[in-house]
A and B are shown apart, each in its own frame.
Chain A
Amino acid sequence: MLLHLFSVVVALICIYTVRHYCFTLNRFTGEQRHPYIDVDSAVWPAVTVLIAAHNEEAVVSDILSALLEVDYPHDKLSIVPVNDRSTDRTREIIDSFVEKYPGRITPFHRTGGKPGKAAALKEAMAFVQTEVFLVFDADYIPGKALIRQLVSPFFDPEVGSVMGRVVPLNVGRKLLTRLLDLERSGGYQVDQQARMNLHFVPQYGGTVAGIRTSSLEEVGGWNENTLAEDTDLTFRLLLAGWKTVYENRAECYEEVPERWPVRVRQIMRWAKGHNQALTEYATALRRRKNMSLWERMDGMLLLCVFAMAPVLLLGWVLALMLFYLGAPIGGGTAVLALAAFTTLGNFAAFFEIAAAARLDGSEERIRLLPFTLLGFSVSLISVSRAAWQQIIAGILGREMVWHKTERSRMAPVAAGRAA
């Protein structure tokens, strides 16, 4: 029985390995899809931009300044900072902008209610009177063309949500930020774009993102009971027949965690939220007939992606046990080792990162590739720990707690800053 379980684990890891190879090869040799990026002349729809802000005094002025300068008709752009129970100077900073730019910014100061971004966004929907709205986290700095790039896919009546590319800003601060920069590159430049090319399931990421209001209403609005409202929404839209589009050229700077404990908390929250979506939507996705087989398969693999870390650990435990029990595992361990090497951690495999670095035209940062093993190992342990906590919380009936990612920015930066 252990041997069979071991075989299943190896097979699962191998599936993800093949998936990563396919995505990487697609980015180098396949047809690249950017069907909406060229929409230049249009009757642009009215748009509301929601900025999720919880104790964001270090960063909120940067995003407000940047949004006031974007290239989008001012009479069609409504900026709504969602000040979610902040206890620092966030409210004061937002109000100073409201005073300075009358009629451009409509603040929503939330003083109570359920914690968490999804809960805050749910209440902020009362401010959304437009057919399309965009969501940014307060640490993001949109470029001038970003709003148009994120809105243009909504001319496609099948599109329910849009995701842009997140580019780390504080790359050079620490080894961790440099590793996260590589990991983000692999995840967006290769993973997300390949899924876009192949008509699979690009993921709505919750920020630098747009949503069609009617599609959100159709799927029942925000789910405030999830730790990853982005993954949750991706799958509810998918099941309702709406597409999520990835715009690789709609780039926006963000701040990545600079301390390992912050990173660990962040990835554990993602893992728990993702696993929540797995338990809620896997069955529905398997049964859904109104989408292609490839879409269903990719959606299922995407749902299971954070469950693979504990599976991989289980694989190693089984390999050791079987070895000492003298079971005939043959080349199974070697296959597991090879597959694990390409699937480890946050599942942006090393060759995906290398491919992304090449596609981004960066030359020296690729040398850090061996150190990604460190980041992946931390992810592997953290994600497995998150899964374990989730199982325990499920048994004991505990509610999961939402942790905000800590910001490190000390001073405002110039909007649209480049390298």
Chain B
Amino acid sequence: MNEVLAPAALAALTGSMVALPLTPAVLEILRRKDAGPLPARKDDGNIRNFARSMRRYIAPLREPLAVCAQSGAIQESCLGDGSYALVVGQGGDYGASDEKIQTLILFAQSVSLSHRMIFLKDLYAAGDLYGGRQIIFRAVLAEKDVFLGEETLVARWLHSEGSVFAGRGSTLYGRLSAETAAALSTGCKFERVCAPVIVTAANALQRRGHQADGTVREFHIQQGRLGRSRIRGDIHFHPGEMFLGNIIATGAVRIDEKTRILGSAKAGTHIQLGTGAEVEGSLVSSGRIDVGPECLIRGPVLADKEIVIASGVQIGSPDSPATVSAPRIRISSGSRVYGTLWARLEGRVEE
């Protein structure tokens, strides 16, 4: 008996010890719980996608919005998913200080909000939106201009079909987009900002109607294919020099004042631009980029660590939008970027 059972028991035990680690694998093959392809990105990454999505969501409220705009009434409406929205027909002042709004709210006309209000759900404004100080918004979609009072906080995103003016010390998490212009005051923190022109100012709220003021400097674009020069170590362009072509250095690139690079520059460590330097192409650094006052850059400015932009700088132009992207961006007031400012960790407007 033992002569038969003992080897059989040993074989069964050994077999089960071998099979045990394979059990989850066999079960997954049989049940196929996670057998689909990994999700790949389907959208086009457009900054306006949240705004478009909200516009679709509130589309059923278009009629009540028009009715309330006529009558000046305040009406509660129900959306397709069963949630409620407040449609406010009257324009002018709205809300009390420190009031907390718990529902999606739609303003049919231009409105001026009290200080320190908190909007726990999204906000839609068919007209201009004037915010008091220290308001907290979850997300905002506005058909006209938006004026954010000092120390406003936007938690997720804000889109304006006109311009956005952000007061001092505002914090703009997530996406901020405007179809005309975005003006950011000193002390503003931002992540991703996109507009035909983004200006920084000591007090952006005073710039209404002047957001695109100032002379736009034009580029003299080089036609044809540019050569490239690779340097092992650092390279230094002295004041007033002009370089035609792309320059790549494994170390630092230093471009002194009034120097012109008719091409792009790439540095393994650090790029430093002196006052009034011009770059016709892009600037790319594996470390940090310092852009001096009054510099003019046509192409994207990309850094692995940080970008610091002094005042009077122009990046891109109305005909040549550009992106400034780094984990951290510090930009002084008095500069302008045509296109996108994208700070993956934190962007800040400084004096």
Q: Is the CB of A145 within 8 A of B325?
A: no
A401 within 8 A of B: no
- Chain A 17-59 residues near chain B, CB threshold 8 A: 33, 35-36, 38-43
B78: chain A residues within 8 A (beta carbon): none
Q: Is the CB of B302 within 8 A of A419?
A: no
- Chain B 37-66 residues near chain A, CB threshold 8 A: 37-47
Interchain CA distance A419-B246 in the complex, whole Å: 43
With both beta carbons as reference points, the residue of chain A lying nearest to B40 in the complex is identified as: A251
B263 within 8 A of A: yes
B217 within 8 A of A: no
With both beta carbons as reference points, the residue of chain A lying nearest to B339 in the complex is identified as: A41
Interchain CA distance A244-B310 in the complex, whole Å: 32
Interchain CA distance A49-B325 in the complex, whole Å: 27
Given known pairs A36-B302, A38-B344, the reply for A171 and B36 (CB within 8 Å) is yes
Q: Is the CB of A42 within 8 A of B302?
A: no
Interchain CA distance A171-B40 in the complex, whole Å: 13
Q: Tell which of A148, A251, A370 touches B21, judged by Cβ atoms closer than 8 Å.
A: A370
Given known pairs A41-B316, A367-B25, the reply for A168 and B37 (CB within 8 Å) is yes
A368 within 8 A of B: yes
Given known pairs A145-B44, A155-B264, A157-B284, the reply for A167 and B25 (CB within 8 Å) is no
Interchain CA distance A157-B38 in the complex, whole Å: 33
With both beta carbons as reference points, the residue of chain B lying nearest to A34 in the complex is identified as: B344
| B211-254 to A contact mask, C-beta < 8 Å, 1/0 | 00000000000000100101010000000000000111010000
Interchain CA distance A42-B38 in the complex, whole Å: 30
With both beta carbons as reference points, the residue of chain A lying nearest to B284 in the complex is identified as: A156
B38: chain A residues within 8 A (beta carbon): 167, 171, 181, 185, 251, 360, 362, 419
Query: Closest Cβ of chain B: how far from A65's Cβ, in Å?
Result: 14
With both beta carbons as reference points, the residue of chain B lying nearest to A250 in the complex is identified as: B41
Q: Tell which of A143, A152, A214, A363 touches B40, judged by Cβ atoms closer than 8 Å.
A: A143
- Count the A-B residue pairs with Cβ separation under 8 angstroms: how many? 156
Q: Is the CB of A157 within 8 A of B39?
A: no
Interchain CA distance A250-B209 in the complex, whole Å: 40
Q: Is the CB of A199 within 8 A of B342?
A: no
Query: Closest Cβ of chain B: how far from A366's Cβ, in Å?
Result: 8
| A337-367 to B contact mask, C-beta < 8 Å, 1/0 | 0000000000000000000000010111101
Given known pairs A38-B344, A157-B284, A370-B25, the reply for A364 and B44 (CB within 8 Å) is no
- Chain A 123-177 residues near chain B, CB threshold 8 A: 131, 143-145, 148, 152, 155-158, 167-172, 175
B302: chain A residues within 8 A (beta carbon): 35-36, 38-39, 155-156
Query: Closest Cβ of chain A: how far from B223's Cβ, in Å?
Result: 12
Given known pairs A35-B304, A38-B344, A370-B22, the reply for A365 and B35 (CB within 8 Å) is yes
Interchain CA distance A360-B51 in the complex, whole Å: 28
Q: Is the CB of B41 within 8 A of A41?
A: no
Given known pairs A42-B322, A42-B339, A71-B46, the reply for A157 and B266 (CB within 8 Å) is yes
With both beta carbons as reference points, the residue of chain A lying nearest to B226 in the complex is identified as: A157
B303: chain A residues within 8 A (beta carbon): 35
Q: Is the CB of B304 within 8 A of A157?
A: no
A120 within 8 A of B: no
Q: Is the CB of A419 within 8 A of B284?
A: no
Give the interface of B toward A (CB within 8 A): 21-22, 24-25, 27-29, 32-47, 192, 194, 225, 228, 230, 232, 246-248, 250, 263-266, 281-282, 284, 286, 299-300, 302-304, 316, 320-323, 325, 338-340, 342, 344
Query: Can you identify 24 A-B contacts, CB atoms within 8 angstroms?
Result: A40-B323, A43-B299, A71-B45, A143-B41, A144-B42, A145-B43, A152-B300, A155-B281, A155-B302, A156-B302, A158-B228, A158-B266, A175-B29, A185-B38, A249-B41, A362-B34, A362-B38, A367-B27, A368-B29, A369-B25, A416-B42, A418-B42, A419-B36, A419-B37
Q: Which 6 A-B pairs have the closest CB atoms?
A: A41-B339, A364-B34, A172-B35, A157-B246, A41-B321, A71-B44
